[in-house]
Structure 1
């Protein structure tokens, strides 16, 4: 029998879930445009390499929160009238890099956020961090709809 860790996830529909294969960063995108990030932290081992935590080798801690609806605008008509639409699986792309940059592409806009964890890695990280907003690094708008967007390498 294994005890599973419960993540701090808000109510709402998850429209996209992404994890970086190298860093282990997990990003959950919700229909309201909010992205939550979660970072793995190794659990301390006892002498003899015996794990001291019930969750296995890693403990997931809360990372930055990105409120994409504050940065992304969707115009539904040629007149440019702004309309809030829910984020859906078929119209949003998310990706992360080795240096903890988060790319969000929605309709015709691309935003890159810095979601790097703050503070030293240690046992204090096992306490849930205060929710913080990610820093906007870069954004742009293109003429057409973005169908596929990914970060590569280290995101620089």
Structure 2
């Protein structure tokens, strides 16, 4: 069990690192594209497509890590005024809602991937890219987010610390 947890944690870290690298590529790709245009050239269509896909992937790949690290955005104005017992119940219910939503999105994402594969759907712009390559990230990341949110439902820690401005 310990090894499985280590592998899972490493997988979440790997997705976050990949997300960070895509963010770097996004910056480099945009700078290069602008530089090429300013020098009178025409950047490859690959620049545009790869930066567009990076925006999509980096958002989803980094999300499970953000949940684990409590880096997601939430307003603690109300929770800062709650008594500890009510705060714990409220926070766990919010986390449970997040688990349910993530599981539904993972399931619908898996259905979408299956549909893309069965129909042989392609994203046709500069290149022919099988759509399942784009949509495979949905079930993986939303299932990982559901797992991370479930730690706040059943674990010792809760999502909300109850102190406004602590994480700023």
Same-fold status (TM-score > 0.5): no
Could you say which structure has the higher strand fraction?
1
Larger Rg: 2
* Structure-2-length-normalised TM-score: 0.22
Could you say which structure has the higher helix fraction?
2
* Structure-1-length-normalised TM-score: 0.22
Larger relative contact order (CA 8 Å, sep ≥ 6): 2
